[in-house]
Structure 1
Amino acid sequence: MKAKKLPSGNYRVQVVAGHDENGKRIVKSFTASEEWEAIKLATDFACRREQNYDNNMTVAQAMEMYIDSRRNVLEETTIRDYNQVLKYRFKTLMNVKVRDIKPIQIQQAINLEAEKVSPKTVKNAYGLLKSVLKMFNADINLNSVKLPKLRKKEKELPSFEEVFTIVKGTEIELPVLLAAWLSLRIGEVIGLQFRDIDKETRRISIRRTVIRTDEGLKVREGCKTEKSQRQLELPNYIFDMIMAIEHDSDEDFIVPLTRKALYSRFTRLMKRNDIKMTFHDLRHLNASIMLMLGVPDKYAMERGGWSTDSILKSVYQQTFSSERKKIDKMIDGYFNGIILNSGNVSA
């Protein structure tokens, strides 16, 4: 849980305590002079509330309570995903009482979902359902429940040269290069501001993203994970493109497009050229190129923010080592070669 420091110097934690007859959330506040004390008061309340649930509670009511109990500790994107499950998945289970639910009912619900959505979506929804049943001590053995198999998708991606030829000179050339060359996620691309660029070192800091929440799109300081916050050296071609963009403030966004606008314009342009490709596929294209160039995993994961290494800080400290500079030059050489051959001489 997160505690907010008040002007008085005290700390306050708010917990959703339920809903009134109109469906509006009832929020209970816990205030104390010390942060840990406010968090403890709120945690104790949440635990008591979870333990004293109604024995006649339905799966939908239990899932809603589960989501609310974690609203202050999970990412807003995760809460949004949970609410999507509550709203759209396992509809045949939602009015079943937790105490009465049977494995066969869950299996039947999974079968129905498997006809409509991907195995990954079913797996994620089932994971939430299992957590809810566990929290509310449902007397049920789920060992017999089977999920649809996750199938590895073999997708044929175009070459970067094909993609660049299509987007060159368009309004989405820069965001495409940021994704395909520097391996930025779409939220990171539209979250970039001019203040993120160090003009002297020509490095860009990836430290902000645009996320989807239940309240809509939100600019969040910080990336998908701590591992995703990174610094990258800007190739001259991309640096010059950014510097040529007129802006009034360092807090202006480099790519002034919404997530939906960028995504739809890219997919529409690809479709017009008979290419089936999403914007996120540009990161896959980037990973494939680094594999082709023989880039060591350590540097590939660091560039793309994929690192799962627990000593992440030591990796960041070595980001601009002489070895890393060799890797950057090798990758830049590949992309620059294609751009130069296309008729651009300023790369």
Structure 2
Amino acid sequence: MNVSKLSSGNWRARVYIGKRNGKSEYQTFLGETRREAEMKAMQFQIEFDRNPSKALAQYGKETMKKQKDTKPASYEDMTVGECIDAYIDNLVGVSSATTIRRYRKDRAKFFQSIMDTRLKNLTQPMIQTAVSTEAKRYAAKSVHCAHGLLSAALSIYKPDFTLRTNLPPIPEPDLQIPEEEDVRRLLQHIEGRWLEIAVLLGACAGMRRSEICALKFTDIDLDKSLIHIRRTMVKDDKGEWIVQERTKTVKSKRDVTLPPVIIEKLWNRPRNSEFVIGVVPDTVSKEFIDTRNALGLKCRFHDLRHYNASIMLALNVPDKYAMERMGYSTPATLKKVYQHTMTGKRAEVNDMINGHMAAAFLSK
């Protein structure tokens, strides 16, 4: 959908409907506000996706004057489920495959008690009851995510409806950040295996599983001793692993320098495919769990990323550079989730503080 403001002050939204005689054709919708034009176009897009002939017959090639006099499309007869389905469908091609897949799972799993309710009959108490019910069954973070999907869909299809839902509090994550000795033991145990490369990239480059599995040999720069992080391996909405030429966020697209010895290990891997480790993220997790259990450790593979952030904290790396290396646009997530001090470093700091206090006030 293309949306633009006309010299008259009105807004125009255009929806692509195909080609005729080699030329692209669009259905045009006008509105006095951007939202009005978008709502008309989105309603048409939904119906066009379901039945192109019927949608074109219904809307026709209306003139700008006629459209200016029409009221914004109403979605009041849509059900909550249809509203969310339409919202997700319009994100295909815009959001990542992982996001679409998660949204579809949440749509099928949460708030089923209100899915058949028409938007015109939907009330805040109904939503609150649905949320409170799910909060007894699922983790608070999952309920927050599902409510976020509902809120986003309603903002499009019931824009005048303001949500004031009381959501369950999300507890602070209990992270099991590995110590430096733990990482050393892991690497010694898996030396020479593909898992060694995955652990090195997680602990030393702060990379996610999806980024590690999508890393290609062409992403390695031997001269500059760095790697280019440009893509991710994720599951599509059918549950199949795919490689998408995009990262989790815009800032996740980054270059990370590494010690030459690690770069050489990457470069010298057997070239059975274009990918450095040649496995999918689930395999990384499974192999890591088996190794972790054999060594009596409790950390997850993703905790290696926490370890990387904590090391930067311990080394007093400025947030700006830590954010660049981790792939974040703001320091909020970096500080809240990743910068947990490790047990060993915490003990060291405590000893330093206590030693200072003892020397200052208790020594004779």
- The normalised TM-score by structure 1 is 0.72
SS of the residue corresponding to residue 86 of structure 1 reads helix
Distance (whole Å) between structure 1 residues aligned to residue 130 and residue 73 of structure 2: 28
1:59-93: CA deviations, max 9, x gaps? 11121112223324333332222212211111111
SS of the residue corresponding to residue 278 of structure 2 reads coil
Partner amino acid, structure 1, of 2:151 = K
Partner amino acid, structure 2, of 1:155 = L
Contact 2:226 2:263 in 1 (8 A): no
Going from structure 1 to structure 2, the CA distance change for 1:262 and 1:39 (only over 3 Å counts) comes to farther
Unaligned runs of 5+ in 2: 3-13, 30-36, 47-71, 332-364
RMSD of aligned C-alpha atoms?
A: 3.0
Residue 277 in structure 1 maps to residue 299 in structure 2? yes
Alignment of 1:166-181 (within 5 A): 166-168=186-188, 169=191, 170-181=193-204
Work out which of the residue numbers 42, 58, 67 in structure 2 matches 1:46.
Answer: 42
Q: Indicate the residue corresponding to 1:206 in structure 2.
A: 229
Contact 1:98 1:138 in 2 (8 A): no
Distance (whole Å) between structure 1 residues aligned to residue 208 and residue 21 of structure 2: 40
Work out which of the residue numbers 135, 142, 159 in structure 2 matches 1:114.
Answer: 135
Going from structure 1 to structure 2, the CA distance change for 1:306 and 1:136 (only over 3 Å counts) comes to closer
Q: Identity percentage over the alignment?
A: 33
Shift of 1:237: 2.5
Partner amino acid, structure 2, of 1:120 = K
Q: Indicate the residue corresponding to 2:251 in structure 1.
A: 227
SS of the residue corresponding to residue 181 of structure 1 reads helix
1:224-278: CA deviations, max 9, x gaps? 12211211223122122123222167xx100111111111111232233332222
Larger radius of gyration: 2
- The normalised TM-score by structure 2 is 0.69
Contact 1:32 1:38 in 2 (8 A): no
Aligned residues: 283
SS of the residue corresponding to residue 199 of structure 2 reads helix
Contact 1:14 1:30 in 2 (8 A): no
Work out which of the residue numbers 172, 179, 185 in structure 1 matches 2:208.
Answer: 185
Contact 1:99 1:138 in 2 (8 A): no
Alignment of 1:159-170 (within 5 A): 159-168=179-188, 169=191, 170=193
Unaligned runs of 5+ in 1: 3-12, 16-27, 310-347
Partner amino acid, structure 2, of 1:203 = L
Contact 2:207 2:305 in 1 (8 A): yes
Distance (whole Å) between structure 2 residues aligned to residue 71 and residue 90 of structure 1: 22
Alignment of 1:35-184 (within 5 A): 45-48=41-44, 52=73, 55-137=76-158, 140=161, 142-143=163-164, 145-168=165-188, 169=191, 170-184=193-207
Going from structure 1 to structure 2, the CA distance change for 1:140 and 1:268 (only over 3 Å counts) comes to same
Partner amino acid, structure 1, of 2:101 = R
Going from structure 1 to structure 2, the CA distance change for 1:203 and 1:141 (only over 3 Å counts) comes to closer
Alignment of 1:298-313 (within 5 A): 298-308=320-330
